[in-house]
Structure 1
């Protein structure tokens, strides 16, 4: 039988463990947030007391040659376009596989192929993509990166989309055949509204994954289509590490993910738990 002292000890040890773990996770973000408002000299001198400044952010965003602001634009375009493409392909595939009674072997075969593609490490097929993109002049272009991001995230989109589609009541889809003139009307007027929470959750996840993707962007872009994660690494040079600019750019890179998570947390929770609005 446990004594009150033992209970308090284990509760205190558990609380201490949670606090230490939280500090371990949050300390890098705290360092980034503090360093972003320092000057480079303040970082190199390891000054604890300093005057906060926005000069690093101004230098990043007002570079007359485009610089980091151009990299942000590249990330917004590629992440937004890839998200729309993944959502459309995943939604229409799930609609056809679940509610349009395809051949019994088509669904398992398609999902097996997407699962196989998903479990293969990206670096194994990036070399072939690199050669193909070079030959077709898609290397270092926004359309090329968008295509790569779409293909890389489509397996996850199709698996989650299929899960959400399975929870959409089949009776509603069958009943809509009386009111809709064709499958496209069923898809847009009935199926998509029922998939709203799931699609919003999936869209947020895909956008965040594409926004933070480093491996694909590093291998398939050079300068013109360079995205935010790749641009951040450019501040670590052989001559010096520009800590202030690296921290400021990292802080800017985190803002979209935090914004979308806070804005769409209701949809994320509802979508991941239920997959649809019944």
Structure 2
């Protein structure tokens, strides 16, 4: 993969077209756009449409409409992840060749049953920072012939990073520069907390973790500005950047816009949808005020 020359101050807003944009998206888009302008940099728009089942052209068009209404302008062409599956596959193949990933055959139901059986004895199965149980180690200990037979039979599987082997590749602790919420610090990454993360599924050619680090490198992004809900995921991204020899952007994780229930907004909450607010007569200035800018 050939990477472009790195330039100063490149920001990107990267929504998924699987629903309508809401106030949380507006905050992130405003911050990326405003910081790019303030630094004399570039503002890019990326459409993260790897999930071909949930992402639709109609939602993609609504993203463009909402952002234009907010008064934001971005460089063309827009990068659409669905047009770059071969790049993600090349990165996955590289990790396979390095012996750092393995085919994982357990279904969600089987994982749930394994964890339930384990915890029925009073023990606690480890979970990642998002609260999901870590993947059981069964597939890592499968006999090679067993694995080959399963692959030859087209058994449904994902490709997972072997976290233990990946960490053995490191010669020094991983860190990232964080400037979110007024801080300016060096944060030590903890990718082990995520266990053997998925890098590709049978129904999705690439995971968010893999595609986002490839995209940021290809687009020469220098500053990743995104919500605090992705703060801990940065540890996985730093590991993949190290394994794939990718440049490392700085990071800025901003506060989240919360709903009435105290949780971060979701695309299912129509009352905070930008299109709904626009139709109700609100202006872009109103939206800036609502998100605290």
- Which of these two proteins has the greater Rg computed from alpha carbons? 1
Q: TM-score, normalised by structure 2?
A: 0.23
More strand as a share of residues: 2
Q: TM-score, normalised by structure 1?
A: 0.24
More helix as a share of residues: 1
Instruction: Using CA pairs under 8 Å that are at least 6 residues apart, name the structure with larger relative contact order, 1 or 2.
Output: 1
